[in-house]
């Protein structure tokens, strides 16, 4: 108990309210004290204990700086009236030389206990663990500096800047803190709408350049300048799909998934063709949601829409469980022959080497090698160095 000190129930600058519990009793080690049936308040820097109503009025209380707390333990205590209840044990560090006066000058115990009629609430204990893990009091602007600035401002007289030494007392201080957070939230919302305005301005520019490009293509007269092409591509990459399919725009789930599958087919046909005729569903998910902007798709909706693809793209699941989208014209035999040629050129090959060589994902590279193995063109060697594939000399 000699780590506790007397203070006023005030929150200083950079200190915030965390949690509260009632009917708390303090122990000096294993010894009971006269500090019973009070309320305890956890802040980002201290534990405050006071008689009922004292802390709310900003009156006198006991304070334990969290920097003294080395660890927190829990124990079960039995009571004939209230049954089993939880107590909190705070293991305390060495007493600081600048400690203010408190209820005890000397104590033989290096720990204190917190107990209550029905034990300490689990929410309070969890908040205590989280606050101790955060260690907010180690920042430069801690409570000691706030106290020193308060005394300096008091010596300077009432003309000192009140905003720099403003104290947040009791419930009023908590309400003031909430009002400040609400003000900051409003400012963030205003800033977000300003960004939305910039986005709309860019959308207008995109529509204008699109009309110019479309008109020149239709009329087949004049050439599209390089600057217009670059601007057009940059706008496309920034804004993605101009009219994504959403649930709000359809009358039923079946209509939603059918329209979504058609849009996916239109959007992914060229990228899948450029990537060799196959794309993993994870890559599809990232590409589609990047293009849709704020209208993001869930993994479940994407998978359901992919199941309804009828062509020229289809959904395929490998025996390993990997799911991909591939072109209907995709021929496993031709791809396996291409994979065999690459392995023969390099004597042997691992999935990551094939992925780098063909600029495809590691998942697709592994499936290509396994497919070639299924055709009897390759055989594998699994060792501590990893998985490698060689040409099948037993057949070829």
The position carrying tokens 């005729």 is 277
How far is 335 from 330, CA to CA, in rounded Å? 8
How far is 306 from 100, CA to CA, in rounded Å? 69
Determine the pLDDT at residue 12. 80
Cis peptide bond N-terminal to 250, omega within 30 = no
Which residue blocks in the chain are alpha helix, DSSP H?
54-57, 122-134, 143-156, 170-219, 226-239, 253-274, 281-292, 299-307, 332-346, 351-358, 362-374
How far is 166 from 23, CA to CA, in rounded Å? 30
Q: Which of the four pLDDT bands, split at 50, 70 and 90, describes residue 271?
A: confident
The position carrying tokens 């196959």 is 278
Does pLDDT of 392 surpass 80?
yes
How far is 375 from 370, CA to CA, in rounded Å? 9
In the CATH scheme, what is the code of domain 247-327?
1.10.10.10
Q: How far is CA 316 from CA 278, 324, 377, in A?
A: 10, 5, 22
How far is 46 from 9, CA to CA, in rounded Å? 11
User: Which residues of the chain does CATH 2.30.29.30 include?
Assistant: 4-134
User: Which residues of the chain does CATH 1.10.10.10 include?
Assistant: 247-327, 332-391
The model's pLDDT over 86-101, given as tens digits with 9 standing for 90+, comes to: 888 998 888 888 888 8
Indicate the fold that domain 332-391 takes in CATH.
Arc Repressor Mutant, subunit A (1.10.10)
Determine the pLDDT at residue 248. 76
Determine the pLDDT at residue 377. 87
Most confident of 31-45, 66-80, 159-173: 31-45
Determine the pLDDT at residue 214. 61
Instruction: For residue 324, give both structure tokens.
Output: 């991909």
**250 in Cβ contact with 256 (< 8 Å):** yes
**84 in Cβ contact with 77 (< 8 Å):** yes
Q: What is the chain's percent helix, strand, coil content, to nearest 5?
A: 45, 25, 30
Overall average pLDDT of the 32-40 stretch: 88
- In CATH, what class is 4-134? mainly beta
Question: The whole model's pTM is what?
Answer: 0.39
């Amino acid at each position: 108990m000699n780590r506790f000190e007397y203070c006023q129930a005030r929150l200083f600058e950079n200190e915030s309210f965390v949690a509260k519990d009632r009917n708390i009793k303090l122990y000096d080690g294993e010894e009971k004290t006269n500090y019973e049936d009070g309320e305890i308040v956890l802040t980002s820097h201290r534990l405050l204990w006071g008689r009922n109503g004292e802390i709310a009025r900003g009156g006198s209380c006991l304070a334990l700086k969290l920097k003294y707390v080395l660890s927190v333990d829990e124990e079960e205590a039995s009571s004939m009236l209230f049954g089993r209840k939880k107590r909190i044990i705070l293991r305390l560090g060495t007493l600081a030389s600048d400690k203010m006066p408190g209820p005890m000058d000397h104590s033989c115990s290096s720990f204190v206990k917190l107990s209550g009629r029905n034990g300490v609430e689990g929410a309070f204990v969890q908040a205590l663990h989280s606050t101790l893990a955060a260690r907010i009091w180690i920042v430069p602007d801690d409570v000691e500096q706030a106290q020193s600035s308060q005394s300096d401002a008091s010596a300077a007289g009432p003309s000192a800047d009140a905003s720099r030494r403003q104290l947040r007392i009791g419930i009023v201080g908590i309400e003031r803190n909430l009002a400040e957070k609400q003000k900051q939230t409003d400012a963030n919302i205003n800033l977000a709408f300003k960004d939305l305005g910039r986005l709309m301005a860019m959308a207008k520019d995109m529509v204008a350049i699109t009309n110019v490009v479309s008109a020149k293509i239709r009329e087949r007269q004049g050439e599209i300048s390089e600057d217009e092409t670059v601007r057009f591509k940059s706008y496309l990459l920034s804004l993605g799909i101009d009219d994504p399919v959403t649930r709000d725009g359809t009358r039923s789930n079946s209509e939603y998934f059918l329209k979504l599958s058609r849009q996916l087919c239109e959007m992914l046909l060229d990228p899948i063709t450029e990537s060799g005729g196959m794309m993993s569903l994870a890559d599809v998910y990232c590409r589609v949601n990047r293009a849709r902007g704020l209208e993001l798709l869930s993994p479940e909706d994407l998978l359901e829409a992919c199941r309804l693809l009828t062509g020229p793209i289809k959904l395929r699941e490998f025996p390993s469980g990997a799911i991909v989208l591939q072109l209907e014209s995709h021929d496993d035999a031709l791809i396996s022959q291409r994979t065999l040629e690459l392995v023969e050129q390099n004597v042997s090959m691992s999935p990551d080497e094939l992925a780098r060589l063909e600029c495809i994902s590691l998942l697709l590279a592994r499936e290509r090698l396994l497919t070639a193995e299924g055709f009897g063109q390759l055989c594998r060697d699994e060792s501590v160095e990893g998985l490698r594939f060689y040409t099948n000399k037993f057949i070829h």
